[in-house]
Every structure is written in C-alpha cells, then in structure tokens.
Amino acid sequence: MTRKTLVDEEKLLEQLDFIRLSLPEAFQEAILIIQQREEIFLEAEAYGQQMVEAAQAKRAQVLNESDIIRQAELETEQLKRQVQQECEQMMQETLDEIERKRRTCQQEIEEMRRQAIEEAEQIAQGADQYADNVLENIELELTESLKIIRNGRQQLYPESQPPQRGYPGKSVKKK
C-alpha cells in the first residue's frame, strides 16, 4: 500500500472554479467601493472649495470691516476643518468596508479550503476502507485455500507428517 490518496478530480476542479469565480467578484466590489470613496472625496473637496470660495467672496464684500473679516476667516477655517473631518470620516468608513469585505472573502476562501480538505479526507477514508475490504476478502480466500491444501496433504499423508520441502527434483518418499 502507498500513502497516496485518491481525490475526485471533478469535485476538486469544481471547488477551484468556484474559488476562482468568487474572488474576482469580491475584488470588483472592493474596487467599486474604492471608486465610490474617491468620488465622495472629490465631491467633498469640490464642496469644500465652493464653501471656501463662497466665504472668500463674502469676505471681499465686507473687506472694510475688520470684525466681519475675522469672523469670515474663522468660518472659513471652521468649514475647512469640518469638510476635512467629513472626508476623513468617509475615507475611514470606506476603508472599514473594504476591510470587512476582505475578511469576508478570506473567511469564504478558508471555508472552501476546509471543505475541500474534509472531502479529500473522506475520499481517502473511503479508499482505505475499500482497500481493507478487498484485503480482508483476499485473506479469507487465502485462508480457505490453505485449509483445502492442508486437507489435501493430510489425505496424501494421513498417518505421518508430509515430507520436508526441498529442491525440485529431490526424491520424495511415497507410501
């Protein structure tokens, strides 16, 4: 007996195809999420730029009044910080979503690998059981054949022991 294991090639190929087809879909989802994140970031930047421009226009209108100018600058800075915080929050949420998708894909791949190993082990156990059954049948047949041979020899030499085994051509006493 060898330590080789028989594996159902068709089942294994099906599992590999499933893995191969599942991964691109997950990667596509991740790419879409990244693209959405970039679009949101660009929109947020444009919005922030609009807000800055609006604040600067407002500032230009009231340039003569120093208190109003300082207030506008403060609002502009506050808007910049708010937009930046919102952008960072959106980026973090997008990155978290990508990480969740990656973990989900990794878990699915691990589950498929575990199932493939489990199926291979079951196939190996089945093959071992089959081989054991075949060997058991051969053993029973050989045991039965040995009984028949012993009975035949006993009939040839009922009162004494059979002659010693020797080389072919060596004379054997017959009664």
Residue 172: partners with Cβ closer than 8 Å, 6 or more residues away:
163, 166
Tens digit of each residue's pLDDT (9 = 90 or more) over 27-53: 777 778 888 888 888 888 888 889 888
CA–CA dist 53, 42 (Å, integer): 16
**Residue 69, SS3?**
helix
Structure tokens, 1:
């007996």
Structure tokens, 103:
């973990």
Provide the percentage of residues in the chain whose pLDDT is more than 70.
83
Tell me the pTM: 0.36
Q: Kindly list the distances between the CA atom of residue 27 and the CA atoms of 24, 97, 129, in Å, as whole numbers in the listed order.
A: 5, 13, 42
pLDDT band at residue 64, thresholds of 50, 70 and 90? low
Ramachandran assignment for 169, one of left (phi > 0), alpha (psi -120 to 50 degrees), beta (any other):
left
